Structure 1
């Protein structure tokens, strides 16, 4: 994050604009809306800008900018002339005086940026790009405008009127946040939008009167194979309201960034022969935090019920009497194969697909080898990289042809995705040559040959 977004209170605060033209006018409009006293220094001034200066009880200083114009204790300064040298001078002098300064469309000479604004006062939403793409910021503002009802301002005002009473009733800030979130999901919001303030006040009072300390809950959420755009809407909603996020190694950083910023985040990642927290410890953490009344998001790569031990975790929750929800995720077999351009089934090549774990047990993969040797079938192996050579040998030994196509998909659906194709006979030798790393999904079957035609993700 290259800039730190803040919201300034400028009511009755003196601000200076250097420049008297149309650019200065646009900035003056925003400052006046924020309640600032707007001074303008310029040799000439447009009539509409002069009107804003007068309405804000500011002054028009009719002369070229000089250093003495900064003697007044201004909160911020905007350089909005069409003379780059003047704008640079304003910036240099403001820096010496530690004044916040913005030079319009001149990024190197800005200490703050003016964002694109969605105004639902008292709710204000801003979009900024560090000055690199103001047009894109305005386009995003337009999109957000359509998503934020005009009534949101009234809802923010209504909430402010009740804030002290809610705080007096519910002193714990985490519990108070839950109260507001549940309230905004209730019919009260629509009553405020419709202007039915009496009904809204009644519903608010009832909610406060009936409030009780919330019980903890656990959300078992599938985070998918890595691409954050593959998250479900429900997964995203629960991730953003959880008080605690317990996540594993396969959850990508961009996905973790979508969780609530102030949530407690606990890493319990598991790598082969290196479990930072054993499964019993994870189960205990879920129970412990939920019993404290917190909403816990157990964030797992892929789908929690496909080789994710999600069933074991919710068994523990059930035994402890803790409420839980399960949110399916796109499993690695589906997501990675799609991004690699390999359909798992195809009418001409495979009429069935089997998901298997290649995880070693006592040094050897234990799989029903005879059942796996079938021509028109796709095999998908999770966690099979370490035992890959042994798996290929066993399949060939039990009758599978040595030239059966195989694909390795490393870090599928992410920008680091790598796909290597071979056969049962030679795929193991390609792991080191191509520096294939976990997590890697293995696909065995004739459908792998379709990748040459269907690898859409690598042609973008």
Structure 2
């Protein structure tokens, strides 16, 4: 095993140059589609192209030569693709190209490839090419899909705009920090935001103003929802902003794995607040956001769930508005919806519940009932955040105002995460939740008639203790079968590897 590549990644210049593709079927079709991402002059040598391929060639006006293979057909080509589906024929084409000094590629024959075609993410003029040296084309496509999601569609337009400013930047700004600082602000600041929104005029004005300005850049704060804690439940925008942030301020309920998605050299500041343990008062957090914004920093304020749902974003937005600091809200998956998904629970259900209430149990502690309590009587689904410590008071007040003691209840600790634990019962059972000391993570309680439609296969009754030391998490039927038949599967794998058959 070695960590060194057998190939040297490079990009061929093919604009207006002849690239020859030999073949009539799917292999040639795929290579032509890939080449259409470039400005190459494609010549298809296809004497009997299949219907779909012929339609593409005609639609895109691709030069097509309908003649049997001849050695002179490679003349003048910059690259040659042998994609006939006939391995021996492809090798003959490659030998002909090599004799003429032209790099060639025989589809699915790595030993007959002078170059390999990567999986491509196209944001022209930006291109990301992923190769596995032929070891795993499917893996390359999976990586391509992930990168394609992360890179904004506007990246190519932003890069094209940058090309028009390169000369001005070289003339007006000295080498070193000044230029790097300008381009960093260009690609991550207001210029990029304007391009993403399709406002190229504003993008140009902003880029020019930045070029003329001698003072520090303007800061920007992003109030970002981290979702319930699973990295793959972050939005694509949240992931992108974490990679662009200079500073990340994060709450205690945001897992470290999510914080670590930020760029490596970003400053990370914990401002976590848990019950009975507040590391920073909200007023200090507000002032910190303002200070960092005035320093010209791009700041991600990372909040569990959604920043606008019990996230105190209102106070932070007010402080930023008063200070004149630009900010943006990036929604996240709130814990109530993650908990509903864990239970396959319809939060609203036709003919049963048409309303959904997000609340904290503390609303029911006073003498005056909140307005939403009337909705609970009429059948609304009620999602109670931070519900463990107030479970008894919530249950008591709801039953007091007429909600049936038999109303179904679903409880999730660490909703949406791999270490979630799930419980179910009725409103009458809910007070027992306060004594479940083994539940140390954030707990979501969902109450209502619609909850009866949930899947309780993988949850424990509220009245029973959880299995000691083992979280209750959903296991797919396929995984369960695999666990139960492990020895047979291991034996089958051994047979495949050794070629021995019983």
Distance 1:326 1:10 in 2: 40
Alignment of 1:288-367 (within 5 A): 288-359=291-362, 365-366=365-366
Quick check: 1:380 aligned with 2:361? no
Q: Is there any run of 5+ residues in structure 2 with no aligned partner, and where?
A: 12-77, 79-93, 104-109, 459-473, 478-502
From the superposition, tell whether residues 162 and 129 of structure 1 become closer, same or farther in structure 2 (CA, over 3 Å).
Answer: farther
* 1:432 positional shift: 6.1
Q: Partner of 1:267 in structure 2? A: 270
Residues 1:149 and 1:397: Cα distance change in structure 2 (over 3 Å): closer
State the shift of 1:148 in Å: 9.6
Provide the residue aligned with 2:178 in structure 1.
Answer: 171
| SS of the residue 1:171 aligns to | helix
Contact 1:407 1:420 in 2 (8 A): yes
- Provide the C-alpha distance between the structure 2 equivalents of 1:326 and 1:224, rounded to a whole number of angstroms: 13
Matched, 1:281 2:288: no
SS of alignment partner, residue 287 of structure 1: helix
Residues 102-130 of structure 1 deviation map (CA, whole Å, 9 limit, x = unaligned): xxxxxxxxxxxx98676999966354679
Q: Normalised by the size of structure 2, how large is the TM-score?
A: 0.56
Aligned match of 2:446 in 435, 438, 443?
443
CA distance in structure 2 between the aligned counterparts of 1:244 and 1:335, rounded to whole angstroms: 27
The CA distance in 1 between the partners of 2:310 and 2:144, in whole Å, is 42
CA contact (8 A) 2:414 2:441 kept: yes
- 1:408 deviates by 0.5
- Give distance in 2, aligned partners of 1:142 and 1:235: 17
Cα offsets for 1:87-144 (capped at 9, x unmatched): xxxxxxxxxxxxxxxxxxxxxxxxxxx9867699996635467998453115544886
Q: 1:426 aligns with which of 408, 422, 429?
A: 429
Shift of residue 296, structure 1, vs aligned partner: 1.6
CA RMSD of aligned residues (A): 5.3
Distance 1:325 1:235 in 2: 11
Report if aligned partners of 1:359, 1:383 keep a CA contact under 8 Å in 2: no
SS of residue matched to 1:425: helix
Instruction: Tell me whether 1:403 sits opposite 2:409 in the alignment.
Output: no
1:151 Cα offset (Å): 8.6
Tell me if structure 1 keeps the 8 A contact 2:343–2:455. no
Measured after TM superposition, the shift of residue 266 of structure 1 is: 1.3
Shift of 1:273: 0.6
What's the offset of the Cα at 1:407?
A: 0.9
Equivalent residues in 2 for 1:3-22, closer than 5 Å: none
Alignment of 1:129-208 (within 5 A): 133-138=136-141, 140-141=143-144, 164-165=170-171, 167-168=173-174, 171=178, 173-174=180-181, 176-181=183-188, 182-183=190-191, 208=211
Q: Structure 1 residue 224: deviation in Å?
A: 2.5
Alignment of 1:25-44 (within 5 A): none
Corresponding residue SS for 2:211: helix
- Of the structure 1 ranges 283-292 and 389-398, higher mean CA displacement relative to structure 2 is found in 389-398
Mapped contact 2:383–2:444 kept (Cα < 8 A)? yes
Q: Is the 8 A contact 1:123 1:152 kept in 2?
A: no
Number of residue pairs matched by the alignment? 367
- Provide the residue aligned with 1:74 in structure 2: none
Structure 1 residues 156, 123: CA separation in 2 closer, same or farther (over 3 Å shift)? farther
Contact kept in structure 1, 2:336 and 2:444, CA below 8 Å: yes
Where 1:246 maps in the other structure, the secondary structure is strand
CA distance 1:213–1:421, change in 2 (3 Å): same
1:223 to 222, 226, 238: 226
